[in-house]
Amino acid sequence: MLLIVTPIHRDKQNLMPIFLTIPTLNEERTIEDLIINSKKVLPNENILIYDGNSVDKTKSIAKVQKVMFKVQNSKGKGNAMIEAIDYFLHNTNLSYICFIDGDLTYQIEEIDCLFETLINTNSDMVIGNRINGSRENGSITKLNVIGNYLFSILIKILYGGSLMDTQSGFRLLSRDSINKIYKELNSSGFSIETELCILYLKNKFKISSCDIKYKRRLEGSHTKLNPIKAGSEILKTILRLKFT
Ligand SMILES: Nc1nc2c(ncn2[C@@H]2O[C@H](COP(=O)(O)OP(=O)(O)OP(=O)(O)O)[C@@H](O)[C@H]2O)c(=O)[nH]1
Ligand SMILES: [Mg+2]
């Protein structure tokens, strides 16, 4: 089915009611540019850096850029995102929460597409789809492409739906939907995206996607992902949610 997304016209007075969360762990190489780009689409007070105790300049950059900065209590990307959701639900009244990785591999300007798709299709979550979108050479390793593909197939077999990029670090969620399931979130690390997808599928929440660009990390910026460790965590999460 061809989906025609109607552009939503907005200006500074008609801002998207989105709370943007950027999980970071030692992202000094990229976080400044990402914050500057984010401030072009959202007000400073709607931008939160949720940090995993970075030992580089991530914190001082966030302070200079005048966006909120919090250090997570427990370890792992998943725990940072769960704590951010808790903060969003209890300290803001915004209607949507968006996550984007802090390594500048996703383009925050494409939040327009996620927002328009969510509104036009009345979805509960919109995922930035790198598989259908354009991927810069070297942005994803072959191992990660294969892993992503296999996890998406397994999720489809066990839970239905037709998600193409279950591991994407750029997604927009409605407040109502995340409010219903956030207490069930249990993934401390890199399986959080998988867990979100599965809980949304199990609850029959509507999930859509937007084709997005995916760039490779800049020189001097380093991945935190150990593909074997993360892959086994993701597999365990897929099976745990089915059989427990
Ligand atoms: N708060 C927090 N953020 C984390 C932690 N681990 C990773 N991150 C952030 O999560 C985002 C995704 O991590 P990446 O290392 O880019 O993982 P990835 O995108 O799956 O892997 P690559 O394709 O190699 O970049 C980045 O913004 C990291 O800084 C953590 O323990 N706590
Ligand atoms: Mg990354």
Instruction: Read off the pLDDT of residues 117-169 as tens digits, 9 standing for 90 and up.
Output: 999 999 999 999 999 999 999 999 999 999 999 999 999 999 999 999 999 99
Token code pair at residue 69: 């900065």
Question: Is residue 186's pLDDT more than 80?
Answer: yes
* Residue 161 Cα to ligand 2 middle (Å): 25
Question: Is residue 13's pLDDT more than 50?
Answer: no
- Those residues whose C-beta lies under 8 Å from the C-beta of residue 20, and which sit 6 or more positions away, are 38, 42, 46, 47, 48, 97, 98, 99, 100, 108, 111
- 189 close to ligand 1 (CB < 6 Angstrom): no
Q: Which residue has the tokens 């802090």?
A: 102
pLDDT tier, 243 (very low <50, low <70, confident <90, very high otherwise)? confident
Q: What pLDDT does 5 receive?
A: 57
Min mean pLDDT across 111-115, 168-172, 181-185, 222-226 is at: 222-226
Q: What pLDDT does 12 receive?
A: 45
Q: What pLDDT does 15 receive?
A: 78
26-45 burial code (b ≥16 CB/10 A, e <16): bbbbbbbebbeebbebbeee
Question: Is residue 39's pLDDT more than 80?
Answer: yes
pLDDT tier, 215 (very low <50, low <70, confident <90, very high otherwise)? very high
Q: In whole angstroms, give the CA distance from residue 26 to residue 13.
A: 34
- 75 close to ligand 1 (CB < 6 Angstrom): yes
pLDDT tier, 239 (very low <50, low <70, confident <90, very high otherwise)? very high
pTM reported for the whole predicted model = 0.94
pLDDT tier, 9 (very low <50, low <70, confident <90, very high otherwise)? low
Average pLDDT, the chain: 94
- 83 close to ligand 1 (CB < 6 Angstrom): no
Choose the residue to mutate in 29, 54, 101, 165 for probing ligand 1, maximizing ligand atoms within 8 Å of C-beta. 101
